[in-house]
Amino acid sequence: MQELVSVISLGSIYLLFSLGMSLTWGTIDVLNFAHGSIFMFATFCAYLILGKTSLPFLAVVGIGVVVGAVLSLLVQVAAFEPILKRARNKRSAEMQILIGGIGIATIPLAIAQVQTKSNPFGLAASTFHVTVWHLGSARITNVAVFTIVVGLAIWGAISVWLRRSRQGLALRSIGVDSETASLMGINRRRLALGTMAVSGALAGLAGVMFTYTTSAITPESGDTLLIKAFAIIILGGVGSMAGVAFGAFALALVETLVLTYTSGSWVDAVAFGLIFLVLLARPAGVFGRKEVRRA
């Protein structure tokens, strides 16, 4: 029972983090490797503000969301848009955005490292206190409940919006063929900015919830989750909302089971090994669609 609670709780964190990355990658073709830095830096900003004044839980969450959204918008405007304008073709744009994201990520990382000397930091100065509830033999915290409920709710809302709304359809069409979408009157730039803002907000939210769950992160914490998010999205299938949810909870399940029943040294090897085996069978991911190209 406790293992199930751990899987759902950990999977929800992974879902919140990966959702933003999957959203931009699957729709506007931006694989944002600055996502991990945004996740960390949004929390770092909340930590700095808490150093001046104690704030309640929702205020801290709000700070994380807003900072994440703003940072993501800045990255899009200052880095990714110029790259897209200058790129010769889509393929070179994707590679340059990937490299650009890695480069951009070092800036917030360096700022946080200098300020904290890479010591752990957390949100303990807020007025919010983690409470443990008992469900039979299992335990769950109020933070975990919030993460699960909010994570699944946001995932569901985004999935429905992408599928059913006109704007969602417009966004998906950009992912299929941005030129044609533009010709159909879709404002690519506005949708891209909105998508990046939502993605950044999700990263910031994930950062705050993750820090409340673990009590502390370091400036490098985002990098670890970034690799996992990448694996989650590939496993589930790029562009698939169902896939990212599957990938998040599948990875959480494998990690928890390995940690529970074996020596923890095998966690990464087993988790990523399984992902590799799945991809051998389904290269597009579990929920990925096969690409159709005209001859």
Partner 1 sequence: MNILRSRRLHAALAAGVVLSLAACGGGGSSSSSSASSSGGSSNLPSTIKVVGSEPETGPAAFAGLSAEKGYKLAVKQINDQHFLGKDTTMDVTFQDTKGQIPTAASIVSTVVPDKSVSAMFGSVSSQEAVAQSPIAQKSGLPIVYTQAGSDGVVIGNYTYRATPLMATYYPVLKKYVDQNKWKTVGVIYTNASPTLVQVATESIPKLGLTVTKSIATTATTQDFSAPIQQVLATHPDVVSILQVGAANPTAMTQLRQAGYTGAVLGNSGASAGNLKPAGQDGANMVWATDFNYQQTASSSQKFVSDYKAEYNENPLQYAAEGYDAAWFLARSIKDAGSADRAKIATGMAAEAKKKSNGALGENLTWKDGTIQVPGSAVQWTGTDEKLLYSATS
Using CB under 8 A as the criterion, which residues of the chain lie in contact with partner 1 when the complex forms?
Answer: 2-3, 6, 9-10, 110, 113-114, 117-124, 130, 132, 139, 141, 210, 213-218, 220-221, 224-225, 228, 255-256, 259-260, 263-265, 267-268
Task: Pick between residue 97 and residue 225 the one whose CB is nearest to partner 1.
Answer: 225
- Distance of closest approach, residue 214 Cβ to partner 1, in angstroms: 4
Question: Per the structure block, which two tokens stand in for 158?
Answer: 């985004």
**Of residues 241 and 275, the one with the C-beta less far from partner 1:** 275
Closest CB to partner 1 among residues 167, 215: 215
Q: Helix, strand, or coil here: 132?
A: strand
Contact call for residues 206 and 13 (beta carbons, < 8 A): yes
Least separation, in Å, of the C-beta of 31 and partner 1? Answer: 21
Min CB(150)–partner 1 separation in Å? 18
> Closest separation between CB of residue 106 and partner 1, Å?
11
Distance CA(279)–CA(124), nearest Å, equals: 41
C-alpha to C-alpha distance for 68 and 72, rounded to whole angstroms: 6
CB of 139 to partner 1, least distance (A): 6
Closer of 38 and 170 to partner 1 (Cβ) = 38
Closest approach, Cβ 142 to partner 1, in A, equals: 11
Q: Which is nearer to partner 1, 29 or 255 (CB)?
A: 255
Return all residues near 133 (Cβ < 8 A) that are at least 6 apart: 139, 140, 141, 142, 145
- CB 215 → partner 1: shortest distance, Å? 4
Shortest CB 137 distance to partner 1, Å: 10
Residue type at 65? V
Q: Which is nearer to partner 1, 135 or 160 (CB)?
A: 135
DSSP 8-state secondary structure symbol assigned to residue 133: E
**Encoded amino acid at 286, one letter:** V
Residue 138's φ and ψ, nearest 5 degrees, are -100, 160
Q: Which is nearer to partner 1, 109 or 191 (CB)?
A: 109
Q: Which residue has the tokens 């200058």?
A: 86
Closest by Cα among 287, 13, 295, 285 to 149: 13
The structure tokens listed for 6 are 């751990």
- Residue 174's identity, in one-letter code, is I
134: helix, strand or coil: strand
289: its two tokens: 């669609």
Spatial CA neighbour of 26 closest among 232, 225, 276, 251: 232
Q: Which is nearer to partner 1, 24 or 147 (CB)?
A: 147
- Which has the closest alpha carbon to 286: 221, 225, 242? 242
Q: Which of 139, 123, 146 is nearest to 63 (CA)?
A: 123
